[in-house]
């Protein structure tokens, strides 16, 4: 059980605070058999990790080279520490080699700190597949995937998907293409 929960910790580092709090509560409930020292080590690490995550969020709002340098150094302190709780230490140290990937936000503050959006998009596909009980042909699969992609993209752009699809099927083309909306929203963004 401890190994499974530590794996969850490893996969949830740098996610949103709600997820982090739920995970901590889950640890506290599931790990009643841990020594008090291990529980304290775990709580202290979560405090360090959460504090670091909040600093990254503040950095995204007002980035500066000085703060970026400090955050780079703080990463080493948080993810190169030894708590004395072997399984936790192993999970913490697995994060350290991912430093460059995890700190891309210091170079590109506009990128998200987590991959929740990507995971949610994948989950939508899985839910749809489960509810619709699969398709019978490859063409059906492609059509379903295309249709779902249009709906999800329209939703992200704030476009009414029903109206957009009706506009395209009726060939009225009163609404701009989704690609044009994306292009207009990304004009002026720096590519780094």
Burial class (CB within 10 angstroms; exposed 0-12, middle 13-18, buried 19+) of 76: exposed
**DSSP state, residue 70:** H
- The C-alpha atoms of residue 66 and residue 96 are separated, in whole angstroms, by 22
CB 2 within 8 A of CB 32: no
Q: How much is the pLDDT for 120?
A: 63
Please report which confidence band the pLDDT of residue 50 belongs to, taking 50, 70 and 90 as the band edges: confident
CB 30 within 8 A of CB 38: no
Q: How much is the pLDDT for 180?
A: 92
pLDDT tens by residue, 122-132: 666 667 666 66
Between the CA atoms of 62, 185, 163 and 126, what dihedral angle is there, to the nearest 10 degrees? Answer: -60
On the question of pLDDT at 7 being above 50, the answer is: no
Q: How much is the pLDDT for 174?
A: 95
Alpha helices in the chain (DSSP H): 2-12, 17-30, 36-61, 65-79, 86-95, 99-102, 104-107, 116-132, 138-157, 161-169, 178-186
Q: How is the chain split into domains, by residue range?
A: 2-107, 116-186
On the question of pLDDT at 37 being above 60, the answer is: yes
CB atoms inside a 10 Å sphere around CB 165: 15
Q: Which of 12, 86, 93 is nearest to 46 (CA)?
A: 12
Greatest mean pLDDT among 29-38, 63-72, 77-86 lies in: 63-72
CB environment 80-117: b (16+ within 10 A), e (fewer): ebebebebbeebbeebeeeeeebeebbeebeeebeeee
Q: pTM for this one? A: 0.50
Q: How much is the pLDDT for 2?
A: 46
Rounded mean pLDDT of 75-99?
83
- CA contacts within 13 A on the Cβ side of 4: 4
On the question of pLDDT at 164 being above 80, the answer is: yes
Q: How much is the pLDDT for 66?
A: 93
Q: How much is the pLDDT for 46?
A: 81
């Amino acid at each position: 059980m401890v190994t499974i929960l530590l794996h969850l910790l490893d996969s949830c580092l740098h996610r949103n605070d709600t997820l982090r709090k739920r995970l901590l509560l889950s640890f506290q409930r599931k790990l009643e058999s841990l020594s008090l020292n291990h529980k304290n080590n775990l709580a202290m690490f979560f405090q360090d990790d959460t504090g670091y995550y909040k600093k990254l969020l503040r950095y995204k709002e007002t980035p500066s080279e000085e703060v970026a340098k400090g955050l780079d150094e703080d990463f080493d302190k948080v993810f190169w520490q030894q708590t004395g709780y072997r399984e936790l230490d192993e999970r913490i140290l697995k994060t350290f080699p991912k430093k460059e990937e995890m700190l891309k936000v210091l170079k590109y503050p506009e990128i998200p700190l987590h991959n929740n959006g990507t995971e949610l998009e994948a989950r939508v596909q899985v839910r749809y597949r489960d509810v619709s009980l699969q398709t019978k042909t490859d063409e059906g699969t492609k059509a379903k995937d295309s249709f779902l992609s249009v709906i999800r993209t329209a939703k992200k752009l704030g476009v009414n998907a029903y109206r957009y699809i009706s506009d395209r099927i009726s060939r009225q083309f009163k609404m701009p293409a989704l690609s044009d909306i994306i292009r207009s929203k990304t004009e002026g963004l720096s590519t780094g």
